[in-house]
Structure 1
Amino acid sequence: MNDSAQVVVIGGGQAGLAAGYHLRRAGLDFTILDAQPTPGGAWSHGWNSLRLFSPARHSSLPGWPMPVHPGEGHPTAEHVVDYLTAYEKRYDLPIHRGETVTAVESTGDGLLVTSDSGQWHAGAVISATGTWWRPFLPTVPGAFAGRQLHAVDYRSPGDFADQRVVVVGGGNSGAQIAADLTGAAHVTWVTRRPPRYLPDDIDGRALFDIATRRRHALDRGEEDTAGVGGLGDIVAVPPVRAARDQGHLTPHPMFTRLDPDGPVWADGHRAHADTVIWCTGFRPALTHLAPLRLRAADGTVPTDGTRARGEPRLHLLGYGDWTGPASATLIGVGRTARDAAADISDLLGGEPHHGGAVPDQRRT
């Protein structure tokens, strides 16, 4: 297949959908290439009890509020997947599924996007592949005989009934999975430093506001307040709060090695483990951009806003604060998607499109 579009968006998760919405409003011809066979992005792959940090009204993509979650508590991952599925249909976004992009290259007058089924010629590219597809596993000395997995592979506590499970990680995933396993398994929670909980009344909307204020302050040349990171690392969602208050989330320092039977600490203390679950974060999934040679030593691509400094026809969307305040969140990605679409429209000279108008936002 050989085709062309003014803009190619790589990734059909929440960032790719937000990009599509604003590209349509900007009057640009675009297509979205997504490696997944079904809608929902990374939300289709989270653990069973995964929920948003915020209520639906504070968890929406641009144009259409997320419907209220019918059950108790904040929306589930399944509710988010249903919303994203309906969102792409509502706005008739041109998504090609099962398209794994392997390379983006410069052609002089544009960018060439190669997938496993063909090539696309584009005036601009938005990379919105996220981080879920590149889990980070640290190297620890030793040879553990049990099972090791990353948070991306965790589904439910029933899979670990009566096992001795070591959960490694002092962020949200580590706290949530350790809390989820409470009552089903014998859990040892390991963190590199004492866990830092955000105030119990903090939710996703507040996190977005804090991140935005920090970004604006930095843009004005003011002192860095550290934003959300200055408040803590863990959002105390109800299950985490309950496990913490009941004394089930007792942190242990990081071990120094993994022997066949389990972790060993610097003081010689040992613990038997059947499974180690690494909740150690992710790296940006950017291997498709390797031909452009843009990545810095820390693995990111230097950007001005979302635009790559070394390639102005490339924008990166939804990878974290380095591509916009709270841009890896549902509520935060809309603003940076709007800015990226406006920049691309200026770059391409506002050429006429063939994608049709955005449907009336009041339609139900």
Structure 2
Amino acid sequence: MKLHDVIIIGGGQAGLSIAYFLRRSNLSYLILEKQAKAGGSWNHTWDSLKLFSPSNYSSLSGWPMPKSTNEYPTKSEFINYLSAYEKRYEFFIQKQTEVLKVEKENGLFKITTNIEIFYSKTLVSATGTAKNPFIPTYPESAKFNGVQIHSATYKNSTDFEGKKILIVGGGNSGAQILAEVSKVATTKWVTLKEPQFLPDTMDGRYLFNEATQKFLGKSEEKSSGDFSISLSNIVMVESVKEARSRNILNAVRPFEEFYEHGVIWKDGTREAFDAVLWCTGFRANLKHLESLGIIQNGKITTLHTRSVKEPSLWLVGYGNWTGFASATIYGVGKTARQTVKEITEVL
């Protein structure tokens, strides 16, 4: 039996960040990655996706991302960077290896995969959220005979040409996909509350810095003008600015329920749509950890990133409950550094 000090489940930005700090230690580690190529969940995002921070703010620890062709890096530029990052640091990573189940056996983690069984003293789960898209529950949704897809499976606007599309969700993905689809289709945008747009002069770097200061209690709620800073604020990348020039960025509040051909609004009005495109985010992908019996309401109770009930397990990159902004490219490094420090102290 080959025993590792640490096994990392997931080879995306969170898993690579953990490996970057682990390689400085004398601990043996291995990343198990389901996919055949670098890039993690970025490989499955929509074609025209743009990051909303410049390259130097879209970098992992130790090595800055090369300057992108345009101000904001494209999906393919970032995937290329992750691939180069893997090669640069020669991480120990086994690809095309899907973790099916994690159990405890004689004080060790027994990790069953589609290839073989692995054992480790400690475990870092860094599978992110991309495999667990969230769609809110609306009455009579099964009645709707149009198409419903989540942004997780959206690639481009080709299938929506000439149709009427309802886009639900007020974050950056909702705004960017709305901007694209509205060029070829009639669109309506639904958000829970009025979307918050950053000024044109601000982007993800300011968003993250301000949100961090607010999190640390060092910033006023409305420290950057007459709006509150949040990681859900929409950055005015080029495509979103272009949509604004067409007067597309007008959102309405949610509908009441579905009917066969569309949705029923709060005033009882019925409106037909060919498709509903859900840009409503994701939840933590923790299915592989179910056998440990520590998941409650879709989360695992942690102190920082360390599981309270299973203290040899750390969770990185799932959102603020696993480290502030740990699901962001720029924020995950801080979380990873602290996590590896804790693992090193334990071992």
Matched, 1:314 2:320: no
Matched, 1:149 2:149: yes
Q: 1:342 maps to which residue?
A: 341
Q: Is the 8 A contact 1:208 1:325 kept in 2?
A: no
Structural RMSD (CA): 2.1
Cα deviation per residue 1:70-112 (whole Å; 9 max; x = unaligned)? 2x23000000110001111111111111111122222243222
1:156 to partner: Cα distance: 1.2
Q: Is the 8 A contact 2:12 2:41 kept in 1?
A: yes
**Unpaired segments ≥5 residues, structure 2:** none
> Counterpart amino acid of 1:109?
G
Q: 1:136 maps to which residue?
A: 134
Q: 1:354 maps to which residue?
A: none
Matched, 1:295 2:301: no
Q: Is the 8 A contact 1:26 1:342 kept in 2?
A: no
Matched, 1:242 2:242: yes
Higher mean C-alpha deviation, range 134-143 or range 78-87 = 134-143
1:287 to partner: Cα distance: 1.1
Structure 1 pair 211–3 and aligned structure 2 pair: CA distance change class (3 A): farther
Q: How does 1:191-270 map to 2 (within 5 A)?
A: 191-217=191-217, 230-232=228-230, 233=232, 234-270=234-270
Q: How does 1:60-209 map to 2 (within 5 A)?
A: 60-70=59-69, 72-142=70-140, 143-209=143-209
- TM-score, scaled to structure 1: 0.88
Higher mean C-alpha deviation, range 59-68 or range 262-271 = 262-271
Percentage of identical aligned residues: 43
Q: Is the 8 A contact 2:213 2:219 kept in 1?
A: no
Matched, 1:275 2:275: yes
The 3-state SS of whatever aligns with 1:330 is coil
CA–CA separation in structure 2 for the residues paired with 1:224 and 1:97: 45
1:245 to partner: Cα distance: 4.3
Higher mean C-alpha deviation, range 180-189 or range 240-249 = 240-249
CA–CA separation in structure 2 for the residues paired with 1:107 and 1:121: 9
The 3-state SS of whatever aligns with 2:277 is strand
The 3-state SS of whatever aligns with 2:178 is helix
The 3-state SS of whatever aligns with 1:210 is helix
CA–CA separation in structure 1 for the residues paired with 2:311 and 2:220: 27
CA–CA separation in structure 1 for the residues paired with 2:29 and 2:39: 20
Q: Is the 8 A contact 1:214 1:226 kept in 2?
A: no
Q: Is the 8 A contact 2:207 2:229 kept in 1?
A: no
1:197 to partner: Cα distance: 1.9
Q: Is the 8 A contact 1:211 1:325 kept in 2?
A: no
Q: Is the 8 A contact 1:126 1:317 kept in 2?
A: yes
CA–CA separation in structure 2 for the residues paired with 1:157 and 1:21: 37
> Counterpart amino acid of 2:178?
A
CA–CA separation in structure 2 for the residues paired with 1:278 and 1:195: 16
The 3-state SS of whatever aligns with 2:266 is coil
> Counterpart amino acid of 1:37?
A
Q: Is the 8 A contact 1:136 1:282 kept in 2?
A: yes
The number of residues matched between the two structures is 341
1:28 to partner: Cα distance: 1.5
Q: Is the 8 A contact 2:102 2:288 kept in 1?
A: yes
> Counterpart amino acid of 1:328?
A
CA–CA separation in structure 2 for the residues paired with 1:339 and 1:230: 29
1:146 to partner: Cα distance: 1.0
The 3-state SS of whatever aligns with 1:327 is coil
The 3-state SS of whatever aligns with 2:330 is helix
The 3-state SS of whatever aligns with 1:25 is coil
> Counterpart amino acid of 1:8?
I
The 3-state SS of whatever aligns with 1:140 is coil
CA–CA separation in structure 1 for the residues paired with 2:272 and 2:57: 43
1:242 to partner: Cα distance: 2.8
The 3-state SS of whatever aligns with 2:187 is strand
Cα deviation per residue 1:188-241 (whole Å; 9 max; x = unaligned)? 111122212233333222233234334433xxxx99959999425322223223
Q: 1:328 maps to which residue?
A: 327
Q: Is the 8 A contact 1:170 1:192 kept in 2?
A: yes
CA–CA separation in structure 2 for the residues paired with 1:226 and 1:38: 42
Structure 1 pair 242–271 and aligned structure 2 pair: CA distance change class (3 A): same
CA–CA separation in structure 1 for the residues paired with 2:124 and 2:79: 22
